[in-house]
Homo-oligomer: A and B are copies of this chain.
Amino acid sequence: MPNSFTPQAAGDLNYLKSLNRSTILSTARRHPGLSRADIALETGLTKATVGSVVQTLVERGWLREGELHARGGGRPGRALYLDGDRHYMLGAEVGVKGLRLVACNLVGEILASCHLEEPPSDPVTTATCLAKLLNQLREAPAIAGRRCLGLGVAVPGPVSPTAPILSLAPNLGWIDVDFLALLREEPDLPDGVWLLDNEANAAAFGEFYFFEGMPPESLAYISADIGIGCGVVSGEHFPVVPRGYQGLVGEIGHTVIQPGGALCHCGNRGCAETLVSGWALRESLGLDIDDSLSASVRARAGEADVQALIQRAGEALGLLMLNLHHTLNPSMLILGGSLMWLKGPLIEPALAYFEAHQNDLLRQSQSVPIKIIEDSTFTAARGAAAQVMARAAIEV
């Protein structure tokens, strides 16, 4: 059952209808090609109910009928798929280094995208700029004739769990920004579901929602960028991103892993971010925020202290993964963010540390698959779009 399906727990017949519609839709999403009868079996609903619900979902452009099943026996079932042709969602990421935008369809394919490599200034200017780019994106031919389900925006900082407000983005210098309100001031933007979420949460959600193949029970997406954060998702039909009381779930960059260590910009010593983050590594290498970290590291790859620095960062990342496993215990780990451009020299020590320090609690059980996203340019933006779809799907 969904945790975030409706704000209140009690429900009427309308609610029940909507719940079952969403469940059927979700079943079709997670198992493409099932027939009505398969879905009935899978969900526990009757053929009659599934039949009538599927009919409305097809009419409204959420599902499409595919080929006939070819398993012997009686009458073959008609395969059902999410309809990728009649809707789209907008997703955007306001990143420290620029804006990234995507439009994608119900199966997670990116229909059009755009990125502007220019650090955002103040919220108002950024909103205006983003609105302009969004409207440009909507002109893309791949989108023509589709209905827009809404807009999701990912931001580099914790978002209040009770209101769509960015509490703090240290790397942008923004505090308590109601970014969606600013966007609403802009002309010509589409209606629909509007969402704001933390960048790591959005990315995690997207990777989970649009997972190719058998989706994991849960996953954590570690976003290793200027700062380091993490988003968690779990839940079969209605994936839930735990946010915690103040939206700090997954703020692992500020967990202390080296008491008395280097001073962090948060005021504490020994935060994970002092060892592994675009911020700390640039500082150690004497780079500016705009400099390319991976290029510099590659250029100085021969220097022993640079090697040691990256090695230490990798090990810290591995330690974070281990600690994450003992606190959030996801069934899969995904590594993303611009630090992945450092590739092997960072990633290998991280994986090695993680492997080498599996303790009794873990060794018993099967190991945790780890996926690395080398280019996560649009991961968060696409994830924000996925969140829009998930929300829109419960209203249909």
User: What residues of B have a CB within 8 angstroms of the CB of A324 in the complex?
Assistant: 327
Contact A26 B3, beta carbon cutoff 8 Å = no
Q: Kindly supply a per-residue 1/0 record for chain A positions 310-329, scoring 1 wherever the CB is within 8 Å of any chain B CB and 0 otherwise.
A: 00000100010011111111
Contact A256 B218, beta carbon cutoff 8 Å = no
Counting CB contacts under 8 A, is A98 at the interface?
A: no
Q: Kindly supply a per-residue 1/0 record for chain A positions 321-365, scoring 1 wherever the CB is within 8 Å of any chain B CB and 0 otherwise.
A: 011111111110000000000000000000000000101111011
Q: Kindly supply a per-residue 1/0 record for chain A positions 286-316, scoring 1 wherever the CB is within 8 Å of any chain B CB and 0 otherwise.
A: 0000000000000000000000000000010
Number of interface residues of A (CB under 8 A): 78
Contact A254 B330, beta carbon cutoff 8 Å = no
Counting CB contacts under 8 A, is A259 at the interface?
A: yes
Oligomer copy total: 2
Closest to A248 in B: B329
A interface SS class: loop
Give chain A interface residues in 262-308, CB to chain B under 8 Å: 264, 266-268, 271
Contact A245 B331, beta carbon cutoff 8 Å = yes
Q: Kindly supply a per-residue 1/0 record for chain A positions 225-251, scoring 1 wherever the CB is within 8 Å of any chain B CB and 0 otherwise.
A: 000000000111110101111111111
Contact of A359 among B15, B16, B266, B364 (CB under 8 A): B266
User: What residues of B have a CB within 8 angstroms of the CB of A257 in the complex?
Assistant: 256-257, 259
What is the CA–CA distance of A289 and B151 in the complex, to the nearest angstrom? 59
Q: Which 8 A-B pairs have the closest CB atoms?
A: A244-B329, A245-B331, A266-B359, A248-B329, A9-B237, A10-B43, A1-B5, A255-B323
Can you list 18 A-B contacts with CB-CB less than 8 angstroms, sorted by A residue number? A1-B2, A1-B9, A9-B236, A10-B19, A11-B16, A11-B19, A234-B242, A242-B242, A245-B368, A248-B362, A249-B328, A252-B326, A255-B326, A256-B357, A259-B315, A266-B360, A271-B359, A328-B328
